[in-house]
């Protein structure tokens, strides 16, 4: 497998430094990508770089995943219009540990020849004092060189300007590359196209400080076909941590991709071969309503990020909400997982004692909750056969419900029509 060619046909390659491809064709090469621990989880926006490292390792090269315990204290100005809030050391350490756990799900750290390795740049910066840094690193890169970077020019042209802290970021990242080149024989740094300036600062530092040679590759920044930001939904970022974004919502993010996006994303986020993808595309063209591209992508990336079991739960949740799935699978979930299934769906709480002697469905849906605005509206829709409770059609306005009808001793699921769900929570 040729790494650069793999990136090309998948539509991932943006920039590549001359000589990089020749270097990679000589044999196993070590390369790295950095991840800043600004949060305690990665999100789908990081998946492009994770996939880059996966392809790099599959091509026979040795990947390093750098978690920026030091650079996270500075803040990368690339692509930012304002300076980020700096995090405390305790928060950064927590975030670093969480990111390391996540990255270990994607890369092979135990193979014989090219095992992935995790590094934290805090390890080499913690004892590097300021005077030593400006003498041993700063003297090799001119201010004119740093000012010419797009990430710097755009910020200096803005109203907020740029602090010295952020201005120095490219030197800090450049030294990361130098340290890994010097101590780990790391010859290639990869990243998103917005990182090109920081990456080539590293190659320049290696050249000027030790007359060494290093290389750079960047991938395209992922955009949605409609122009909106990739990885963002109405409820915010799509995280890799199942506690921040449930596997069901993660699966739905990919399943709801437009046809144009799915055609691009399946190349970037899947490990399927070109022939396999083209076969799925052909089937999708014949029957686009079956959403073969979206399903193939959503299933593969959900398993890789979470697990086969998480995918099964996501599929059962989808079938329950949008198909003819039964209520049984909810009984296998704990209360927190049930709430995740109904995240974004109207929820109403009431006292469990209200069910002690039984309550008629009209009072339950129009008085103890606001499924209906009035009892009259509730009765009318029930009589028309448009109301279900716990997946069973309500036969009349006098139908009673009691504590025996609670799912997991706490929940009742109401439906108004086929797709309007409501979760009633007895506390």
Could you tell me which of 329, 358, 274 has the C-alpha nearest to residue 5?
Answer: 274
Q: Which of 15, 194, 259, 363 is catalytic?
A: 194
232 is in an annotated binding site: yes
Rounded Cα distance between 210 and 355, Å, is 77
Q: Which of 14, 38, 165, 347 is catalytic?
A: 38
Alpha helices (runs of H) in 126-246, residue ranges in sequence order: 130-136, 143-147, 150-157, 164-167, 169-184, 196-210
251 is in an annotated binding site: no
Q: Which of 233, 244, 347, 410 is catalytic?
A: 233
Side-chain half-sphere of 32: how many Cα atoms within 13 Å?
28
- Is 94 among the residues known to form the active site? no
Q: Which of 49, 57, 170, 173 is catalytic?
A: 173
Q: Which of 8, 223, 229, 393 is catalytic?
A: 229
- Is 43 among the residues known to form the active site? yes
Alpha helices (runs of H) in 87-168, residue ranges in sequence order: 89-103, 122-125, 130-136, 143-147, 150-157, 164-167
| Backbone φ, ψ for residue 149 (5° rounding) | -70, 140
Please answer whether residues 127 and 152 qualify as being in contact, where contact means their C-beta atoms are separated by less than 8 angstroms.
no
Rounded Cα distance between 306 and 312, Å, is 11
- Written as six digits, the tokens of 151 are 């990430």
- Residue matched to tokens 């014949």: 286
DSSP code, position 238: -
- Is 418 among the residues known to form the active site? no
Q: Which of 84, 224, 272, 312 is catalytic?
A: 84
Q: Which of 14, 15, 43, 224 is catalytic?
A: 43
175 is in an annotated binding site: no
- Is 393 among the residues known to form the active site? no
Could you tell me which of 250, 52, 263, 77 has the C-alpha nearest to residue 170?
Answer: 77
Rounded Cα distance between 353 and 362, Å, is 17
- Is 194 among the residues known to form the active site? yes
Please answer whether residues 297 and 254 qualify as being in contact, where contact means their C-beta atoms are separated by less than 8 angstroms.
yes
Please answer whether residues 294 and 281 qualify as being in contact, where contact means their C-beta atoms are separated by less than 8 angstroms.
no
- Is 139 among the residues known to form the active site? no
Q: Which of 94, 182, 184, 232 is catalytic?
A: 232
Residues 6+ apart with CB under 8 A from 369: 348, 350, 414, 422, 424
Q: Which of 10, 40, 46, 149 is catalytic?
A: 46
Sort residue 92 into left (φ over 0), alpha (ψ -120 to 50) or beta: alpha
- Is 233 among the residues known to form the active site? yes
145 is in an annotated binding site: no
Q: Give the residue ranges of the annotated binding site for L-tyrosine.
A: 32, 169, 173
Q: Give the residue ranges of the annotated binding site for ATP.
A: 232
Q: Give the residue ranges of the annotated binding site.
A: 32, 169, 173, 232
Active-site amino acid positions? 38, 43, 46, 80, 84, 173, 194, 229, 232-233
């Amino acid at each position: 497998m040729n790494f650069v060619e793999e990136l090309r046909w998948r539509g991932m390659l943006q920039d590549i430094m001359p000589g990089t491809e020749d270097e990679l064709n000589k044999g196993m090469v070590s390369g790295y990508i950095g991840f800043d621990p600004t949060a305690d989880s990665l999100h789908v926006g990081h998946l492009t770089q994770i996939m880059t490292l996966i392809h790099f390792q599959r091509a026979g090269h040795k990947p390093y995943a750098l978690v920026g315990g030091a650079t996270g204290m500075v803040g990368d100005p690339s692509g930012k219009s304002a300076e980020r809030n700096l995090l405390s050391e305790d928060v950064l350490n927590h975030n670093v540990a969480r990111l390391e756990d996540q990255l270990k799900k994607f890369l092979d750290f135990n193979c014989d020849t090219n095992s992935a390795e995790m590094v934290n740049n805090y390890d080499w910066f913690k004892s590097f004092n300021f005077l030593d840094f400006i003498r041993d690193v700063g003297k090799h890169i001119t201010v004119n060189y740093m000012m010419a970077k797009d990430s710097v020019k755009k910020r200096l042209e803005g109203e907020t300007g740029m602090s010295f802290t952020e201005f120095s970021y490219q030197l800090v990242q450049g030294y990361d590359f130098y340290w890994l080149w010097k101590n780990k024989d790391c010859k290639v740094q990869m990243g998103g196209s917005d990182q090109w300036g920081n990456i080539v600062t590293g190659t320049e530092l290696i050249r000027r400080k030790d007359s060494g040679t290093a290389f750079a590759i960047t991938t395209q920044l992922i955009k949605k076909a409609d122009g909106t930001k990739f990885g963002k939904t109405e409820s915010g970022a799509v995280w890799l941590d199942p506690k921040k974004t449930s596997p069901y919502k993660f699966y739905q993010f990919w399943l709801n991709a437009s046809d144009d996006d799915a055609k691009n994303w399946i190349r970037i986020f899947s490990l399927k071969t070109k022939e396999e993808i083209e076969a799925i595309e052909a089937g999708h063209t014949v029957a686009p309503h079956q959403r073969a591209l979206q399903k193939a992508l959503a299933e593969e990336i959900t398993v890789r990020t979470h697990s086969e079991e998480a995918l099964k739960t996501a599929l059962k949740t989808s079938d329950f909400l949008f198909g003819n799935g039964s209520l049984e699978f909810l009984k296998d979930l704990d209360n927190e997982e049930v709430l995740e299934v109904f995240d974004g769906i109207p929820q109403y709480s009431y006292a469990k004692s209200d069910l002690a002697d039984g309550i008629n469905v009209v009072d339950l849906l129009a008085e103890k909750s606001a499924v209906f605005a009035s009892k009259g509206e509730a009765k009318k829709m029930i009589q028309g056969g448009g109301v279900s409770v716990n997946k069973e059609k309500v036969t009349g306005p006098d139908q009673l419900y009691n504590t025996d009808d609670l799912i997991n001793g706490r929940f009742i699921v109401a439906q108004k029509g086929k797709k309007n769900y409501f979760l009633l929570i007895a506390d």
